Amino acid sequence: MIKNIFAGKWEFNAPILPSAMTQDQFASKWPQVRGQAGTWWSKLGDDDLDQVAGKFELFMGLLQRKYGYTRASAEKEFNKRLAKYESQASNQRVAEYAAHQNSKQDAG
């Protein structure tokens, strides 16, 4: 924060940082995102998601238009939901692996 000495007010001038996710990363995750997006954001219809077609900038713009997010809040919300989804998927894979290992031990 920078204090505006003349006006006696606090101003916050944060630069918009580039997204941590590249277009290629987003495109590779698009099938999972596309499948979850309707659950995560009910205002997004199939036509909206078809238009995005794996393009990160279009998706961020769509979230901004439909939900009134700022660019930064759209990215933050997307990253939060994606991280939670990936964590749950990872936990599921670990549980399935452990169950498979246990069944092999029981059979052997």
Residue 93: the pLDDT is: 74
The answer to whether residue 4 sits within a structural domain is no
Instruction: Say which CATH number the domain at 31 has.
Output: 1.10.1470.10
Residue 108 pLDDT more than 80? Answer: no
Whether this prediction's pTM lies above 0.85 is answered by no
66-103 confidence digits (pLDDT tens): 999 999 999 999 999 998 988 887 777 777 777 767 77
Is residue 3 classed as helix, strand or coil in its secondary structure? strand
CB 71 within 8 A of CB 62: no
Please check whether residue 8 lies inside any domain of the structure.
Answer: no
Burial classification of residue 33, based on how many CB atoms lie within 10 Å of its CB (0-12 exposed, 13-18 middle, 19 or more buried): buried
The model's pLDDT over 37-54, given as tens digits with 9 standing for 90+, comes to 999 999 999 999 999 999
The domain of 90 spans 23-107
Q: How many domains does the chain have?
A: 1
Mind listing the pLDDT tens digit for each residue in 13-46? 443 444 467 889 999 999 989 999 999 999 999 9
In a domain, 17, yes or no: no
Give the count of alpha carbons within 13 A of 22, CB side only. Answer: 3
